[in-house]
Structure formats: structure tokens, C-alpha cells
Amino acid sequence: MTTTQTQAGQEVEFIRAMEQKALENQPLTWDEAVELINLDTTHIFDLIASANRVRRHYKGDEISICSIINAKSGHCPEDCAFCAQSSSASAGAPEFDLVEADKIVEGARAGMANGARKFGVVTSGYGFANKGSKKTLDKVADHIGRLSQQCEVHRCASLGIIDEAAAMKLKAAGLEEYHHNLETARSFFPNVCTTHDYEEDVATVRAVKAAGMRVCCGGIFGLGESREQRVEMAFTLRELDVDSIPINFLNPIKGTRMENQPPEPPLELLKIIAVYRMILPTKDIKIAGGREKNLRDLQSMVFAAGANSTMVGNYLTTCGRPAEEDLKMISDLGLSVKGK
Ligand code: SF4
């Protein structure tokens, strides 16, 4: 046996040992997680096979589907480098104030017709803690109330930074889950956003948990962060004990600070999903924006790589592919769509 073969055998053994730890819900150490994310592409399919077994063990073969509505767009005072809705971007994103409740109910029904059982109301802006507007929060809470009366859908919202009082108000109105991304690792965040502090995002997650709602919290990859910084965010999410982790891939939009960011190879992105499944084995891992553009023909592999959830329909400022193509992809893979 050559040295290369021996080394390859050791790496496969290492991946299987990490799979075993994940199956037993034993936390991976920092060094183990970094070694996994630094595996070269020769071993990506061994890693995917392991992540697939871990996904099946905890999540079965059901895929949870979400859809969203862009309920208030543009004019955002924050300066997130990837976002077309930031007022510091010149991306020409749509600009409108909070839509009426009817439009939200209509959006939820359209999402359900596409197979989604979870529906997210998403607004641009800083949010509702400290410098945010309480008046808009009241209006959003009314809209959530209408949604809970008129639609049998799992209700989620992404309204920016909130405190526990705002979270309690939204929960009382019928909200079941709150989405708030950390976006990236703490150590990379200053490269992405300078208008608020990472700790405000962390505090939002803690406030939502304290209010007793599910938390959907992840980030966006391909911003120039290192592999170690990808692990760093996963460890922060593990420490925060979030319920669902949305994984977005950068779709560089002209007029944003990230417009010239080079794309990551699709296999590198599948590796992120697989490593997240190993670090966060029991959690929901959801593939969100940028899937079509970045993974192209490899997008059906996201479930084998460890994801158990995805978004259908359009994203905030970019278009997804038709929902029927995603539903077909899920059934072709022998998977089924999860109910509420
Ligand atoms: S990601 Fe959210 S907070 Fe950041 S600029 Fe875009 S809309 Fe504003």
C-alpha cells in the first residue's frame, strides 16, 4: 500500500469516527470540526455519505419546506455588504413600506399551494429593539394575528433585531418561530456589517428563546470568510442552541459591496452543509438563498449532504426556480415533504 493510500484510509476512518460521534450526539471538538472542513475534495463523497446517514438518523426522509414574503423592502439603514436592500447599496432593490395583512395571507396561501408548511414574514430594517419603531411592530403583530386566524401554516417572521418584550408581543399574536441570522462568524462580522454589533444579533436570539419561540438562525457563505470562520459560526449556533439553521450562499448582486466576490466551488459548499450536519446533528438545516446559482446541477445533493429543509419560491430580492421543480427533485430522491 502506498503512503497516499494509507493517508486516504486514515481520512476515511476519521470521517467515520466523526459520524459515530454525531450519531451519538457527542459534540465535535474544535480541532475535529476544523479537520473535517479542511478535508480536500477527494474525500467529499465519504463525508457526504456520513452526513446523509446522520440526517436520516435524526430527521428521517422528510423535507420541511418554507416560503417567505418580502413584506417591507429597501430603505434599510444597515450596511450588510451582501444585501441589495441596504441604503448604502445601489442595487435598485424594490422599496415599499409594510404591506397590508391581506397580502401576507395571500402570500401564505400561495406558499402552501407550493408545498410549504412554514411561512416567513420578512421586513427590511434594523428591527424593533432600541432604535427601532414600536408603531411598525404593533402593525406587524396585527398582521401575524390575522395570519393565525386565516391560515393553517407554521408562522415565522424575520423582522431584525428585537428584544424580549417585542418577542413576547409577537408570540402572543400567534408567531411560532423567529428568524434572525448571525450572517457569519463573530470574527468576520466587521467585514460584513458595521452599523450594528454582532452581540445585538446574539441578544436577539437569546430574547426569542427566552420568549419561548423556536429560533431559525444561520448565515450566508461565500463572503470571503475562511473555513475556520465557518466552523466558528457553527460553534456559536451550537452554543446558542438554535432550532433551525438556514444556509445561504452568496448571490453577488450588482451595486452591493460583494458584487465582485468570486464564487466558491459547489463541492466546497456541499462540504459546509455536511460539516454543519456533523457539528449540529439534531438540528434542522435549511438551504435558503443562492442554491440555484451556486450549486447548479449539484443542488439535489444538498439533502445527501445533510440538509433536511429548503425554501421554495422566490427569495427577498432574487428569484428561485419554479416550486414544482423542487417538489419533483424531492420526490425523485425518494424523499417526502413534511407536514406542519
Ligand atoms: S440584511 Fe437585513 S439588516 Fe442587513 S441591510 Fe439587508 S435588510 Fe438591512
C-alpha cell at 168: 413576547
pLDDT score of 131 more than 60: no
User: Separation of 218 CA from ligand 1 center, angstroms?
Assistant: 14
Return the best residue to mutate from 80, 179, 316 for the ligand 1 pocket (most ligand atoms within 8 A of CB).
80
- pTM of this prediction? 0.94
Render pLDDT for 163-195 as a digit per residue (tens, 0 to 9).
999 999 999 999 999 999 999 999 999 999 999
pLDDT score of 149 more than 60: yes
Q: Which of 20-24, 81-85, 289-293 has the highest mean pLDDT?
A: 20-24
Using CB distances shorter than 6 Å, the residues near ligand 1 are: 76, 78, 80, 83, 85-86, 124, 160
User: Separation of 195 CA from ligand 1 center, angstroms?
Assistant: 10
Mean per-residue pLDDT of the chain? 92
Return the best residue to mutate from 70, 72, 85 for the ligand 1 pocket (most ligand atoms within 8 A of CB).
85
Q: Which of 5-9, 78-82, 93-97, 241-245 has the highest mean pLDDT?
A: 241-245
pLDDT above 90 coverage of the chain, percent: 79
User: Separation of 61 CA from ligand 1 center, angstroms?
Assistant: 34
pLDDT above 70 coverage of the chain, percent: 96
Sign (positive/negative) of CA torsion 281, 202, 320, 294? negative
| pLDDT for the residue 134 | 76
| pLDDT for the residue 166 | 94
The pLDDT-based confidence of 17 (bands split at 50, 70, 90) is very high
Cα Rg, the chain, nearest whole Å: 20
| pLDDT for the residue 150 | 93
| pLDDT for the residue 9 | 85
User: Separation of 198 CA from ligand 1 center, angstroms?
Assistant: 13
Query: What amino acid occupies position 29?
Result: T
User: Separation of 127 CA from ligand 1 center, angstroms?
Assistant: 10
pLDDT score of 212 more than 60: yes
| pLDDT for the residue 8 | 77
Instruction: From 203, 196, 242, select the one nearest 219 (Cα to Cα).
Output: 242
The pLDDT-based confidence of 89 (bands split at 50, 70, 90) is confident
With beta carbons less than 8 A apart as the criterion, state whether 278 and 18 touch.
Answer: yes
For residues 74 and 176, what is the distance between their CA atoms, to the nearest angstrom? Answer: 25
| pLDDT for the residue 103 | 94
| pLDDT for the residue 1 | 65
Phi, psi (rounded to 5 degrees) for 157: -145, 150
Render pLDDT for 22-63 as a digit per residue (tens, 0 to 9).
999 999 999 999 999 999 989 999 999 999 999 999 999 999
Give the pLDDT mean for 248-258.
Answer: 94
Q: Which residues pair with 68 in a beta bridge?
A: 120
Render pLDDT for 102-119 as a digit per residue (tens, 0 to 9).
999 999 999 998 888 999
For residues 248 and 158, what is the distance between their CA atoms, to the nearest angstrom? Answer: 15
With beta carbons less than 8 A apart as the criterion, state whether 208 and 175 touch.
Answer: no
Instruction: From 95, 185, 216, select the one nearest 193 (Cα to Cα).
Output: 185
The residue nearest atom 2 of ligand 1, judged by CA position, is: 124
User: Separation of 284 CA from ligand 1 center, angstroms?
Assistant: 23
pLDDT score of 294 more than 90: yes
C-alpha cell at 246: 438556514
Render pLDDT for 264-282 as a digit per residue (tens, 0 to 9).
999 999 999 999 999 999 9
Q: Which domains does the chain possess?
A: 22-337 (3.20.20.70)
